[in-house]
């Protein structure tokens, strides 16, 4: 199994540009989420989804959009990139959010906004 | 607002020694997770602690949870170089919804 796959691994944007970070999992997991990691800090939850068609906001949702049209995919959209969005982004998934199972993390996308 | 604090943030130790990383959190939760992250890599799940008094062990690592004290510990026994990494604790702030708040991380360096 590939697990949780994120693309791209690296991206440089100019302020105001838009882009989509891709996340796909092949484990038939219900729950998927996006986190950002800034230097010297832990991860912060951006958005999450408990199933296809259902999304909700996390701790730091501003400036990001998500959708979940299929169980497998959970893309994260930056509508108008800002330097404050420079970070490493991790996608994570688990079989079910209610069974207390561990999260599986993707390898991350390092994003720089100039 | 849930706050999760780890200490120490940096720890340099010698192989063979024992040490403990502490994770304190500010509001009630009975679900706590420990993760390991190697430099430039993703996070790997170590332990899921689901109740007061829970204790889990894997190799040289042992984690425990005291929900009354709002404290979890990650104990390292007879450290080896391969355990060098950053360790994060994370607390579920929505009672089982896996909406995690992470601590700042403890960067552990184990010297030969």
Instruction: Tell whether B100 lies on the interface with A, counting CB pairs under 8 A.
Output: yes
Between A42, A90, A100, which is nearest B103 by CB? A42
pLDDT of A97 over the 80 cut: no
pLDDT of residue A98: 61
Residues A76-91, mean pLDDT to the nearest whole number: 96
Please indicate whether, in this complex, the C-beta atoms of B101 and A33 are within 8 angstroms of each other: no
pLDDT of residue B2: 85
Report the share of chain A in percent with pLDDT over 90.
83
Chain B residues inside the 8 Å CB shell of A59 = 99, 101
Q: Which of A41, A46, A99, A102 to mutate to test the interface with B (most CBs of B within 10 A)?
A: A102
Find tokens 């960067």 and name the residue.
B107
Cα distance between residue B66 and residue B49, in whole Å: 10
pLDDT band at residue A12 using 50, 70 and 90 as cut-offs: very high
CA distances, B54 to each of A80, B31, B51, B67 (Å):
45, 10, 5, 9
Between B48, B50, B88, which is nearest A42 by CB? B88
Please indicate whether, in this complex, the C-beta atoms of A48 and B48 are within 8 angstroms of each other: no
Residues A74-90, mean pLDDT to the nearest whole number: 97
Instruction: Tell whether B33 lies on the interface with A, counting CB pairs under 8 A.
Output: yes
Between B42, B96, B101, which is nearest A108 by CB? B42
Q: Which of B93, B5, B50, B29 minimizes the C-alpha distance to A99?
A: B50
pLDDT of A100 over the 90 cut: no
Residues B40-44, mean pLDDT to the nearest whole number: 91
Cα distance between residue A11 and residue A26, in whole Å: 24
* Strand pairing report for A109-113 and A10-13: parallel
């Amino acid at each position: 199994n590939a697990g949780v796959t994120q693309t791209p691994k690296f991206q440089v944007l100019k302020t105001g540009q838009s882009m989509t970070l891709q996340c796909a999992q092949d484990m038939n997991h219900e729950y998927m989420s996006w986190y950002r990691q800034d230097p010297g800090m832990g991860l912060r939850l951006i958005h999450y989804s408990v199933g296809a068609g259902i999304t909700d906001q996390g701790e730091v949702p501003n400036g990001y959009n998500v959708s979940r049209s299929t169980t497998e995919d959970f893309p994260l959209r930056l509508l108008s990139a800002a330097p404050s969005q420079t970070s490493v982004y991790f996608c994570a998934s688990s079989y079910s959010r209610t069974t207390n199972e561990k999260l599986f993390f993707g390898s991350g996308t390092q994003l720089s906004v100039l | 607002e849930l706050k999760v604090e780890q200490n120490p943030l940096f720890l340099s130790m010698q192989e063979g020694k024992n040490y403990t990383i502490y994770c304190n959190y500010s509001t009630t939760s009975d679900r706590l997770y420990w993760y390991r992250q190697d430099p430039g890599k993703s996070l790997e799940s170590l332990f899921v602690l689901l109740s007061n008094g829970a204790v889990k062990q894997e190799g040289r690592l042992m984690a425990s949870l005291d929900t009354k004290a709002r404290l979890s510990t990650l104990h390292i026994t007879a450290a080896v170089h391969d355990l060098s990494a950053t360790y994060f604790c994370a607390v579920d702030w929505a009672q089982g919804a896996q909406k995690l708040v992470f601590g700042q991380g403890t960067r552990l360096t184990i010297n030969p």
